[in-house]
Amino acid sequence: MKRTVKDLVNLKGKVVLLRVDFNVPIDKNGKILDLNRVNASLPTIKYLIEQEAKIVLMSHMGRPEGYEIRLSLWPISLILMQKLNTKVYFSNKATGFEVKERLHSMNNGEVLLLENVRFYEGETKCDMKFARELASIGDVFINDAFGCSHRKHATTYGIARLMPNAIGLLMEKEVNVLTQAMEEPKRPFVAVIGGAKVPYKIKILRRFIDQADTILIGGAMAYTFLVASGIAVGESITYLDSVDVARDVLNYAKEKGKKVLLPIDHIAVRKGDKKQKKFATDSLIEDMVGMDIGPKTVKLFSEEIMQAGQIVWNGPLGKYEDEDYREGTNKIAKAISLSKAYSVVGGGDSVSAVKASKNAGGVNFLSTGGGATLKFIEDGSLPCLEVIQEQIR
User: What is the binding site for ligand 3PG (CB under 6 A)?
Assistant: 21, 23, 63, 147-148, 151, 348, 370-371
**193, 257, 296 from 222: Cα distances, Å:** 9, 20, 15
Strand order of the β-sheet with 214-217 is 259-261, 214-217, 189-193, 310-314, 342-345, 365-366
Amino acid at 229: S
Tell me which residue of 387, 390, 389, 391 sits closest to 131, measured CA to CA. Answer: 387
When the beta carbons of 14 and 375 are compared against ligand ADP, the nearer one is 375
Q: Helix %, strand %, coil % for the chain, to 5?
A: 45, 20, 40
Minimum CB distance to ligand ADP, residue 306 (Å): 23
| Residue of 2, 14, 19, 37 with catalytic role | 37
Strand partners for 141: 17, 165
Which of 106, 196, 264, 306 is the binder for ligand ADP (CB under 6 A)?
Answer: 196
> What region does 309 belong to: left with phi over 0, alpha with psi -120 to 50, or beta?
alpha
The answer to whether 389 and 3 have CB atoms below 8 angstroms apart is yes
| Residue number with the smallest Cβ distance to ligand 3PG | 23
Question: Angle of helix 221-228 relative to helix 198-211, nearest 10 degrees?
Answer: 70
Minimum CB distance to ligand 3PG, residue 200 (Å): 13
Minimum CB distance to ligand ADP, residue 164 (Å): 34
Minimum CB distance to ligand ADP, residue 154 (Å): 25
Quick check: is 37 catalytic? Answer: yes
What is the spatial distance between Cα 39 and Cα 89, in angstroms, rounded to a whole number?
18
Minimum CB distance to ligand 3PG, residue 44 (Å): 16
Which of 88, 178, 209, 220 is the binder for ligand ADP (CB under 6 A)?
Answer: 220
Tell me which residue of 147, 191, 190, 194 sits closest to 330, measured CA to CA. Answer: 194
Which of 219, 234, 290, 348 is the binder for Mg ion (CB under 5 A)?
Answer: 348
Minimum CB distance to ligand ADP, residue 355 (Å): 12
When the beta carbons of 109 and 315 are compared against ligand 3PG, the nearer one is 315
When the beta carbons of 75 and 371 are compared against ligand ADP, the nearer one is 371
Which of 60, 150, 258, 319 is the binder for ligand ADP (CB under 6 A)?
Answer: 319
When the beta carbons of 150 and 326 are compared against ligand 3PG, the nearer one is 150
* 349 binding Mg ion? (CB under 5 A): yes
Which of 152, 197, 259, 296 is the binder for ligand ADP (CB under 6 A)?
Answer: 197
Q: Containing H/E element for 19?
A: strand 15-19
Question: Environment class of residue 367 by beta-carbon count within 10 Å: exposed (0-12), middle (13-18) or buried (19+)?
Answer: buried
* 219 binding ligand ADP? (CB under 6 A): yes
What is the spatial distance between Cα 362 and Cα 311, in angstroms, rounded to a whole number?
12
When the beta carbons of 147 and 195 are compared against ligand ADP, the nearer one is 195
Asked, as a colleague might, if the bond just before 188 is cis with ω within 30 of 0, I would say: yes
| Cα–Cα–Cα angle for 247, 205, 371, rounded to 5 degrees | 135
Stretch in the footprint of ligand ADP (CB under 6 A) among 12-20, 35-43, 100-108, 344-352: 344-352
| Residue of 348, 369, 370, 375 with catalytic role | 348
| Residue of 46, 83, 132, 197 with catalytic role | 197
Minimum CB distance to ligand ADP, residue 51 (Å): 36
* 291 binding ligand ADP? (CB under 6 A): yes
Binding mask 308-347 for Mg ion (x = CB under 5 A): ----------------------------------------
The answer to whether 293 and 330 have CB atoms below 8 angstroms apart is no
With H, G, I as helix, E, B as strand and everything else as coil, classify residue 256. coil
Quick check: is 348 catalytic? Answer: yes
Q: Which residues are catalytic?
A: 37, 197, 348, 371
Residue ranges that bind Mg ion, judged by CB under 5 A? 348-349
Residue ranges that bind ligand ADP, judged by CB under 6 A? 194-197, 219-220, 237, 290-291, 314-316, 318-321, 347-350, 370
